[in-house]
A and B are shown apart, each in its own frame.
Chain A
Amino acid sequence: MRIHRLIILALAITGALISSNRASADPLRLAVAANFIQTAQQLADEFMQRTDLSVTISSGSSGQLATQVREGAPFDIFLSADTQRPEELVSSGLAIASSRFTYAIGQLVLWRPTTGIPPDEQMLRNGQFAHLALCNPATAPYGAAAIETLKAWNLYDQLRPRLVVAQSVSQALELIQSGNAELGFVALAQVSRLKEGKYTVIPESLYSPLRQDAVLLSRAGENIDARQFMTFLHGPQARDMIRRAGYLTPNGEQEAAR
């Protein structure tokens, strides 16, 4: 008898929790590539202040997030670190073609947490380090850009045994900040505001541009709040915040050409 009561109680509590969860208004859910998370949080804060809507942010590598969208994750907007994955989602009917636009152009940096001279090509060539961190080139565009840079410098084969691969730029930064890797390739936006460490911005000519596209996902096609956020992301204030965070934004001509 007692066990029966316990089971019924447990079921009742579970039911209550589920229904109360359902009842509360659904927040706007952003899936954000790891390099953009801090900036996205600032944008979301600004947006929430303006509109009184609530926004939640999930982050990971662009590849992980795109896979999650394919598997039915309840995201409304996808801020990728590349153009390819939003495009693929559009062609599989999971995202809305007309909503796709480049919200930021990322800049790759070589960063190390110590003071002294900023790390550069020569430092890599001298090889006075055990581990160079970067993110998985298969899933994170910044990882692919890092590999392209190493190849452009003719250092890839030489440094290959010392590369440690993180799952996203956030994890790459974590590996360096914890001191386990001495230096690594990360996004300018991650380190531009850090007080510690030194960085060198990698010349854009060495890697394919890190155009980061945003797209409205199909499940949010009728969602007015989501459309409002996309409009906000297009606006001058958002563009200004994005530039201040360490990104470039497409100029007017490119914008008009789309």
Chain B
Amino acid sequence: MKGIPTDVIEATILTLELAVVTTGMLVTIALPLAWWLAFPHRWWKSMVNAVISLPLVLPPSVLGYYLLLAFGPTGPGGWIARLWGARTLAFSFHGLVIGSLLYALPFAVQPIQNAFHAMGRHPVESAAVLGASPWRTFYRIAIPMAWRGVVTAIVLSFAHTIGEFGIVLMIGGDIPGQTRVLSVALYDYVESARWHDANMIAGGMVMFSFLTILLLSSLQNRKRRHTS
């Protein structure tokens, strides 16, 4: 498009890429995890739940700090990075994906878990009585019945990954095309007084967030109409 600098476009594409990859992986992880957490109740499942939910409460700088240590050559991230000949997971797209996964995990797990809870054990037990395998029960009964939770999880994961800032700032290294996502680019533009570009990104973010909330509330309204 005319008038949009290439580095803004680059940051936008990178951000969307990150959000799509993260959301895809999150939903894949969150579906079985939420299912496992939803029933039956065990005290140690509450522990797992609490650990998953930590990013809701922790400042992103705390998460970023630990990730910086974990990604280095002496941490687990360094061992993984050695698989493809790098020495750290920081400053790379892979590193951002891992950071975003951890950060957005509660936003993906909780809505799905709540949906499974709301569904209750009854449909699952009926399916079992009728001879369906647990796996078949999961993807033919549970997931279709919890689809609103799944959609909410997708929207929230996507939105939170787009809006991620603190972690990326600490582990990203601000590399164009690799780790300079929109939120960091906006920060850079404000710092270097590129007000026009900053306004463009900030305005776009406001629009995007507004649409996200609108989408979520319309989903919830439909759900209410459905249940009443």
Contacts and interface: CB of A to CB of B under 8 A. Distances in A.
Contacts of B75: 179
A174 interface: yes
A38 interface: no
A180 B78 CA distance: 9
A139 B69 contact: no
Contacts of A133: 173
Contacts of A130: 86-88
Q: Which of B88, B169, B170, B188 has the most CB of A within 10 A?
A: B88
If over half of B's interface residues share one DSSP class (helix, strand or loop), that class is named, otherwise mixed; here it is loop
Interface residues of B, number: 23
B183 to A, nearest CB: 13
Interface in B52-89: 68-69, 71-75, 78, 86-88
A175 B191 contact: no
A99 interface: no
A53 interface: no
Contacts of B69: 178
A64 interface: yes
A9 B78 CA distance: 51
Interface string A154-173: 00000000011111000100
Given A164-B90, A164-B91, A180-B73, 18 more contacts: A67-B191, A130-B86, A130-B87, A131-B91, A138-B188, A139-B191, A139-B192, A164-B173, A164-B175, A166-B173, A167-B169, A174-B68, A179-B73, A179-B74, A180-B171, A180-B173, A181-B88, A181-B173
13 contacts: A63-B192, A67-B190, A67-B191, A131-B88, A136-B174, A136-B188, A139-B191, A164-B175, A166-B173, A166-B174, A179-B74, A180-B72, A180-B171
